[in-house]
Structure 1
Amino acid sequence: MRYDDKRKAGDLIVKLFLILGAVNAMLAVALGAFGAHGLEGKIPEKYLQIWQTGVQYHMYHALGLIAVALIASKLTDAGSVTAAGWLMFAGIVLFSGSLYVLSLTQISVLGAITPLGGVAFIAAWIIVVVSAVKYL
């Protein structure tokens, strides 16, 4: 792959993760507001706290996706940091998503999915650290 082709692919990755990060940050704010104003008094406090945990990690990793985009913009080969971005996105779906569904349905077996998202988050951050040390 020529340098120009790599740069174009890198620009697409930057754009993709910037958009994914911004959309997920917006969703985290909206879901936080829904939890605070729409669910309060409608679900037990325990599940409201679980919802809030989902929102917090959703926002942290939405910002992480934006960080991935910024890091990718500095690299000529963004392959490893791209993997980190996809792991963060998967973590949002698995970790926060399972907590949202658990809160709404109160089906406790759904909590078994949550750690998979946590592992994805941890792996993503490890890749970010390794990429920063290796390439920046």
Structure 2
Amino acid sequence: MNHKLLSFAALSGFMAVALGAFGAHGLKNIAPAELVSIFNLAVEYQFYHTFALVVVAFGAQWLSPRLLTWSAGFFITGIALFSGSLYLYALIGAKWIGPITPMGGLCLLIGWLLLAIAAWRKLSAHNPAKV
């Protein structure tokens, strides 16, 4: 198990809960519904990928550490770019940050692809005839 990554995932989960609570209780009183919705989307994606980081942290016992390190890096970068840009947009109205969001989404996709490749390689190494 990758303890550093699990610690990071736990902190990301903590932040997602805190930001979700802020969005539900504080932001809705000061921002239009559209911006609250965007903020909530950022929280949702941060949660999804926090769970992905937990999977990667535990997967280090069985799967390629190299691929998992890259996968985790892309998940972390994706959370920062995707969710981070949406948080900023919702909080300060920074429309200029909009083009960063899809780059974060691409990082998240690459993280999932690398995780899938790591699992596929492990599967094919143990069952070459059945893959």
TM norm. shorter chain > 0.5: yes
Q: Note the 1:51-70 alignment, pairs <5 A.
A: 51-70=39-58
Partners of 1:21 and 1:74 in 2: CA distance: 19
Task: Give the aligned length.
Answer: 123
5+ unaligned residues in a row in structure 2: which ranges? 124-131
Deviates more, 1:26-35 or 1:106-115: 106-115
Tell me how large the CA RMSD over aligned residues is.
Answer: 1.1
Structure 1 residue 70: Cα displacement: 1.0
Asked if 1:122 is matched to 2:109, the reply is yes
Letter in 2 for 1:114: T
Partners of 1:49 and 1:81 in 2: CA distance: 32
5+ unaligned residues in a row in structure 1: which ranges? 1-10
Q: Following superposition, which runs of at least 4 residues in structure 1 exceed 4 angstroms of deviation?
A: none
Among 68, 87, 93, the residue aligned to 1:81: 68
Q: Percent identity?
A: 37
Asked if 1:26 is matched to 2:1, the reply is no
Among 2, 17, 22, the residue aligned to 2:5: 17
Structure 1 residue 78: Cα displacement: 0.4
Partners of 1:108 and 1:72 in 2: CA distance: 38
Partners of 1:18 and 1:25 in 2: CA distance: 10
TM-score (norm 2): 0.90
Asked if 1:108 is matched to 2:86, the reply is no
Deviates more, 1:104-113 or 1:80-89: 104-113
